[in-house]
A and B are shown apart, each in its own frame.
Chain A
Amino acid sequence: MIMEEKGKSRLRWGGVLAAITLWLIAAGIGAQGEKPADKSQERPDVLMIDTLKAFGDLEKPRVVFLHDLHTDALEKKGKDCSACHLREDKSGKIPGAENLEDAVKGIDKLSPKFKRLKDTARQDVMDVYHKFCIECHTDMSSAGDKAGPVTCGGCHQKNPVKSSRQEMGLDKSLHFRHIKANDKKCEKCHHEYNEKEKKLVYVKEKEADCRFCHKKETEEKRISMRLASHIACVDCHRQILAKKNPDEKAGPVKCAGCHDLIKQKAIEKVAEVPRLERKQPDTVLVKTSVTEVDSKTYKMPPVAYDHKAHEGYNDTCRVCHHASMDACSKCHTLSGSKDGQFVNLEKSMHLASSNKACIGCHLKKQETQKCAGCHSFITKTKMKETSCKACHVKVPGEPEITPKTDTAPLAKAVLDARQAIITTYPDEDIPEKVVIKDLVKQYEAAEFPHRKVIQTLVKNISENKLAGYFHTDQGMICQGCHHNSPISKKPPKCANCHGKPFDEKSLYAPGMTGAYHQQCMGCHEAMGLKKPAGCTGCHKER
């Protein structure tokens, strides 16, 4: 009897051990986690169909739909967009009519929805998708072609392929090409909603960015930017292409044509884009006071802004005009207003972290290689007070400025009087070579070609207007290395401030060795210099 009991107990323990082992294996497999995403599989035409969200929670995962894949497949079968997109009104006119206008009018607008004009009810929409998708796939696969899935999980995928879609927008060059193609007829695309007449009208010289009204999601009486841009852009392109006129070019109609990164970069760019004609100002005086009675009472002089020049420096208008084409101070008032999200005028101009603000954009320009040698060391978190006067310049003659004064000519006067400082002290005052021998131990003294370096830096500034205007003193360029000291023709030597390293009393300044190496090597690295390289590049071995 004792033998039987032992056998039973052994079996029990064996079972427990097996269970624990299996559990560990399962946990181990589970813990492996998801595989990292394969970037090469990403595509720009991925659409996630979640139309039923409007009717309640989704029961199954969203359906992944590859639009270009389908367009290409249907093209091979000789079908076009109307295979899936219904005509909005059935006028039945045949393309190829007498003139351009008639021809364009004759081809009907297509609905962006799939096989329907409206989303009516949950079951109806679901049925539309299921019926037509599965039907077409079944037909194609029975004909022997490669077709999409027909099972539930085939479309309602848990881990669909990721989208690499890039946002698309017009820049100056592309916009100009559209102006030319449409014969300067701005009304073809630009409109605004007239509250009184309750319809879309075109208002001359008030053309604006589509995104100012068309937001991310469709609102009650306003379609989303996505819908608006596809209806306006893709439809127009499609209509032109449908005419099959070899002399008429049109933009893309496939997803990848606009949204693929490589195709975007390949878009033809016009070299010299003529200035947009919208009666915009050439110069603007940004006022810093509300009363503006007497310019003598300004605490801070106003800023003269060269609007025309800045149009040339940027690719789009929306870089600065992010919500409307009005002047910044309309919404960003001196003390801030609700329209401007309570961002006051000072912040909207000075915010270092925003590309829309003057200073933010200028700081971004300092990151180019030619400037980064000095500017990568200058902290961007606090602006120097000396740089205020580069922009805030007193109006010559200090005239009276009232709310009615036309300030554009005053701004022009300031801008004309402004001069870019593109030189520094004369050569005799700049030491030609600086021999750094304070730390000679392992290596010989380093011979620093001081004057040559300064001359290169001055050349970089002279080619850059922004640098020229902001380097308001000819000694300012010395501050790149001779920092934390007042501007002077005889600035302090490095050893005057950098001595013993790891000094408790001056925690934040490196010692002499560290100072030289960090400043010199840091500048070389920021400016992308390949030489001098290695230790012996600067000082020979002993």
Chain B
Amino acid sequence: MSISRRRFLAWMGGAGAGTAALATGANAGSKHFDGYPGSFGVLHDITHCVGCRSCEEACNKVNELPPPDKPFKDLTVLEQNRRTTPKAHTVVNKYLKPGSEKPVFRKIQCNHCLEPACASACFVRAFQKNKEGAVVYDASVCVGCRYCMVACPFEIPTYEYDKVLAPRVMKCTMCAPRLAEGKLPGCVEACPKEALTFGKRDDLIKIARERIRKFPDRYINHIYGEKEMGGTSWLYLSGVAFKDIGMREDLGVVSAPELTSGALGSVPIIVGLWPVLLTGIYAISQRKDKAALEEKTQAIVEAVAKAKKDAEKKLADALAKAAKDKDAAVKKALADAAKAKKEGA
């Protein structure tokens, strides 16, 4: 049995229409998100930072993190560039450009992207971007796969490898519980020079632009985080080039979810439609062969049956002939015997 041309075309048309209908779902991922209106952020003015580490101390206290190996008053740790650790959501690094005597200090922590790569990579929604602007973590659903650590372009999330039971991914939470109470994040409150300014992200951009306008010799004309990776809630102003203080300038302005939305959006279509389509085509092509095979078997069966019939007929004829011959021979023998007797008597 084979499919008719009309039916085949009908199936193909239906498959195409279905794909087109489902394809619109994939494009929804490429819309640009500018952040929740009224969400908060922090402006870090690197020209004001003196590397006093008060922010590190405050973060440690507010989040009830274990005490550090070296006390916060010890400024010799700045001689080495550090990263965030499971025990430290934020660190301050010192950068010294060769040929310049003045060191530049920068605070590193989660940048609370508007469209976070970590939240996008997490398939159990342990990382979520909330309306206040913070990217918060739910340890109860985390499976410890650490895809978030791979995805983060700033290499911020850390993992409690030392814990055997219930290890967590550790990163700055913008003190979301404190924000909910109307308090300031711990680091912002502690900074004596107000190198960290807290406020609505839109206001912070205004403040940053005004500072650049008033003191063009003091700042590089760029707000880091305004557009990087689709925009972050933590913005930076600096007097030296950002790449000289360990900040990547090659990230581009597209957020991580936007970069992956195309590939991810096509998964449902591919998983849903292609197997069906391909199986159908396979089935159709197989049916043709099957039909041919069936006909062939049928022909063989018929041929065998016919041959059998012929053979039986031949046998029956031969038997009949043999019986006839036997009769004739017996008759002839009897006649011969009678004749012999007649002649002998």
Contacts and interface: CB of A to CB of B under 8 A. Distances in A.
A, B assembled together:
yes
Interface of A: 379-381, 501-502, 504, 507-508, 510-511, 513-515, 517-518, 521, 535
Contacts of A517: 192-194
6 pairs of A and B residues whose beta carbons are closest in the complex: A514-B194, A379-B214, A517-B193, A510-B194, A502-B198, A517-B192
Contacts of B217: 380
Kindly name the residue among A514, A518, A521 whose own CB sees the greatest number of chain B CB atoms within 10 A. A514
Interface stretch (B145-153, B199-207, B272-280, B323-331): B199-207
B216 A507 contact: no
B48 to A, nearest CB: 6
B38 to A, nearest CB: 11
A502 B214 contact: no
A380 B215 CA distance: 8
A508 B214 CA distance: 11
B193 A518 contact: yes
Given A504-B199, A518-B48, A535-B52, A381 B216 contact: yes
Nearest to B40: A502
Nearest to A534: B52
23 contacts: A379-B214, A380-B217, A381-B213, A381-B214, A381-B216, A501-B194, A501-B198, A502-B199, A504-B199, A507-B199, A507-B203, A507-B207, A508-B210, A511-B194, A513-B192, A514-B192, A514-B193, A514-B194, A517-B193, A518-B193, A518-B194, A535-B52, A535-B192
B245 interface: no
A314 B20 CA distance: 76
B184 interface: yes
A151 B217 CA distance: 49
Interface of B: 48, 50, 52, 184, 188, 191-194, 197-200, 203, 206-207, 210, 213-217
Contacts of A502: 184, 188, 197-199
B190 to A, nearest CB: 9
Given A379-B215, A521-B193, A508 B199 contact: no
B103 to A, nearest CB: 12
A508 B50 contact: no
Contacts of A518: 48, 193-194
Contact of A504 (B48, B184, B200, B214): B200
B4 to A, nearest CB: 38
B289 to A, nearest CB: 22
Contacts of B206: 507
A202 B215 CA distance: 49
A502 B216 CA distance: 23
Contacts of A501: 194, 197-198
Given A502-B197, A502-B198, A513-B192, A521 B50 contact: yes
A115 to B, nearest CB: 43
Given A502-B199, A513-B192, A535-B52, A508 B207 contact: yes
A163 B161 CA distance: 55
A502 B207 CA distance: 11
Contacts of B197: 501-502, 510
Contacts of A514: 191-194
B180 to A, nearest CB: 17
Contacts of B199: 502, 504, 507
A314 B207 CA distance: 39
B240 to A, nearest CB: 15
A368 to B, nearest CB: 15
Given A513-B192, A517-B192, A535-B52, 8 more contacts: A380-B217, A502-B188, A504-B200, A514-B192, A514-B193, A515-B194, A517-B194, A521-B193
A535 B215 CA distance: 27
A501 B206 CA distance: 16
B207 A513 contact: no
A517 B54 CA distance: 14
A229 B96 CA distance: 42
Nearest to B204: A507
Contacts of A535: 52, 192
A513 B194 contact: yes
Nearest to B102: A525
A513 B52 CA distance: 15
Contacts of B198: 501-502
Nearest to B198: A502
Nearest to A501: B194
A518 B193 CA distance: 6
B187 to A, nearest CB: 13
A518 B191 CA distance: 11
Contacts of A380: 217
Kindly name the residue among B192, B206, B207 whose own CB sees the greatest number of chain A CB atoms within 10 A. B192
Contacts of B50: 521
A514 B188 CA distance: 11
Contacts of A521: 50, 193
A445 to B, nearest CB: 15
A381 B213 CA distance: 8
Kindly name the residue among A380, A381, A502, A507 whose own CB sees the greatest number of chain B CB atoms within 10 A. A502
A379 B184 CA distance: 30
Nearest to A379: B214
Contacts of B52: 535
A347 B192 CA distance: 41
Kindly name the residue among B184, B193, B213 whose own CB sees the greatest number of chain A CB atoms within 10 A. B193
Contact of B203 (A381, A504, A510): A504
